[in-house]
Structure 1
Amino acid sequence: MRMIVALVLALGVGLAGFAVFMAQDYMAEMSVQRDQLLAAQANTPQLMDVAVAKRALAYGERFTMEDVEIIKVQAGKAPAGAYAAITGPQGDPNAPRAVFFDGETRPRAALRSYEPLEPLLETKITEPGVDAGIMANLADNMRAFTIDVTATTGVSGFLRPGDHVDVYWSGRSGNSQVTKLIQPNVRLIAINQNADADRSEETMIARTVTVEVSPEQVAALTLANATGQLNLALVGTINSNAVAEIEINTDQLLGIKQKQVVAVEAERVCTIKTRKGADVIETPIPCATE
């Protein structure tokens, strides 16, 4: 009997020791997992709120706050002009930038097409209550000026709203035909009557283009259009060098050098006239110096 009790006690002690060992091993494993989780959380990038389109939006389509939702993106990775809230107070500089102010019921409109979950950008949507169009594309204190073009003068259908062009004037100046760059890097806001930069046609031969210019540029382009022909040159997306003044005439184009006429002063001849009877005689004399 004593032998059985001793065996039971020994077995109990063994099981207890094994349980303690297993518990210690489990606690050590949990501690390692906890440290790994804390390290992973410390290395996780910070997130920020960004307002995105909840559904696809076509150019000019109106949308309300029901069409907007908030998603999380990595902090510092949101595009410029993105919003951080759907609604927010007006006039509070500490509040996140919101698509709509509190209490706003007027819709906004898309100035380009949007895909679902694409961030809404300040420069790519209209103000509340404003529809997409020419007025929505104009910057502050700028004007819309329309230029008649052809396939030749309008870059053969490769123009799109939002592109930039150089405007050249060709006409007569004095006795020569002249072409001059008069307005560099002007932004297009409409082709024909279409301000949609996402239009699907591969090419559209423009009959008119509408450019965004200052009031002074409007006056210059009006005069240029009335006195000669305007031609457009498409500016590339990579355009880091400033364009110098450009002007060329027919003689420069063909390499013709104008002959310089040097005026030669005729030799002065001084004479004195004397009368002998009915005759008048001229006698050369030295000319007085001035």
Structure 2
Amino acid sequence: MKNTRAILMLLIALLAGVAAVVSASRWLMEQSSNSVKQVVVAANDLNLGQPLNGSQLRLVNWPTASVPPGAFEDLKLLEGRVVRTSLQRGEPVLDAKLAPVGTKGGLSAVINDGKRAITVRVNDVVGVAGFALPGNYVDVIVNTNEEAKNTQNNSISKIVLEKILVLAVAQQVSRDDTQPKVVNAVTLEVTPDQAEKLDVARSVGTLSLVLRNQMDVADINTGGATKGTLLGKAPEAPQVKVVTQTQTRTVVKTRTVAAQPHAGNCVGVLAGIQGGVECF
């Protein structure tokens, strides 16, 4: 009898333990399912301007409390969208990093609103030895002659554009590469007004790019450098042309001429010792 009771107690304890384990497992599964969400991430490295498709994306579990704003949970919503910035493998795809819906792929997708892209010809010197890479900021210097003077002594170098974003070098638009690349063309992002200035600058002189710190946003207005300022010479005083006006006085002499008597009958008149002629 005692053995039967002991076995019964063991069976009850075993069943209670199994029930507790099952309940705990279900509770943990519910908690884990509520604490994570599926988020779309890049399946491989993606370059800016690249259209997305299903093979480039995948879903992963992400802690609910850490899901970044603008993340996607459905792969279908990203079909055909264009990446505006480079994405690394495993990085969440956010709406802020994508071009608007309907945008086609290519460089035009990464140009900001109100901006334009213009390409300038460079060499190993003008292109800062190839260190002007996509994503960097540069200043543009033009060297030309002042006021259409054709002598070399009147050449001037002046910064005409500041903090200009480099969109691409040659046909490369990736902003993750830090290795210098010597190319023959650099594409810059400018405003319409800056595009006009840049076009005039390259038509009247030679251009140079000046690489600047990406965190430096200060605008510096320089007066330009000439041969005189380079050698430390004082600027020449402007020549003043003095025009002396000579006043000429014109003296007009007038002479009264007696009117000729009209032809007609004339008689002599004698008044005292004075005589005259009167005609009528």
TM-score using structure 2 length? 0.61
* Residues 245-264 of structure 1 mapped to structure 2, 5 A cutoff: 245-260=222-237
Which residue of 177, 187, 190 corresponds with 2:155? 177
SS at match of 1:168: strand
CA offsets 1:157-213 (integer angstroms, 9 cap, x no match): 11211111111111100351111111100111110111122347x221021000111
* Residues 128-139 of structure 1 mapped to structure 2, 5 A cutoff: 128=101, 130=103, 132-139=105-112
How far off is 1:252 after superposition? 1.0
What residue identity is the alignment partner of 1:57? D
Structure 1: runs of 5 or more not aligned: 1-46, 88-98, 273-290
SS at match of 1:218: helix
1:214 aligns with 2:202: no
Aligned to 2:118: 145
* Residues 56-135 of structure 1 mapped to structure 2, 5 A cutoff: 56-59=44-47, 62-64=51-53, 67-69=57-59, 71-73=61-63, 78=68, 82-87=69-74, 101=77, 106-111=79-84, 113-128=86-101, 130=103, 132-135=105-108
The worse-fitting range, judged by mean Cα deviation, of 239-248 and 179-188 is 239-248
Q: Contact 1:49–1:72 (CA<8 Å) still a contact in 2?
A: yes
User: Residues of 2 paired with 1:265 and 1:130: CA distance?
Assistant: 66
1:166 aligns with 2:139: yes
Cα–Cα, structure 1 residues 68 and 151, in superposed 2: closer, same or farther, change >3 Å? same
Aligned to 1:229: 206
Q: Contact 1:57–1:110 (CA<8 Å) still a contact in 2?
A: no
What residue identity is the alignment partner of 1:169? V
How far off is 1:234 after superposition? 0.9
Q: Contact 1:165–1:233 (CA<8 Å) still a contact in 2?
A: yes
What residue identity is the alignment partner of 1:58? L
SS at match of 1:182: strand
SS at match of 2:73: strand
What residue identity is the alignment partner of 2:215? I
Larger radius of gyration: 2
Q: Contact 1:52–1:71 (CA<8 Å) still a contact in 2?
A: no
Cα–Cα, structure 1 residues 139 and 163, in superposed 2: closer, same or farther, change >3 Å? same
Q: Percent identity?
A: 23
The worse-fitting range, judged by mean Cα deviation, of 59-68 and 203-212 is 59-68
Aligned to 2:167: 189
Cα–Cα, structure 1 residues 86 and 268, in superposed 2: closer, same or farther, change >3 Å? closer
User: Residues of 2 paired with 1:269 and 1:257: CA distance?
Assistant: 36
Higher share of residues assigned strand: 1
User: Residues of 1 paired with 2:61 and 2:173: CA distance?
Assistant: 30
Q: CA RMSD in A?
A: 3.9
* Residues 39-50 of structure 1 mapped to structure 2, 5 A cutoff: none
User: Residues of 2 paired with 1:261 and 1:246: CA distance?
Assistant: 18
How far off is 1:225 after superposition? 0.5
Aligned to 1:31: none
Q: Size of the alignment, in residue pairs? A: 212
Cα–Cα, structure 1 residues 218 and 237, in superposed 2: closer, same or farther, change >3 Å? closer
TM-score using structure 1 length? 0.59
Q: Contact 1:148–1:207 (CA<8 Å) still a contact in 2?
A: yes
Structure 2: runs of 5 or more not aligned: 1-34, 250-280
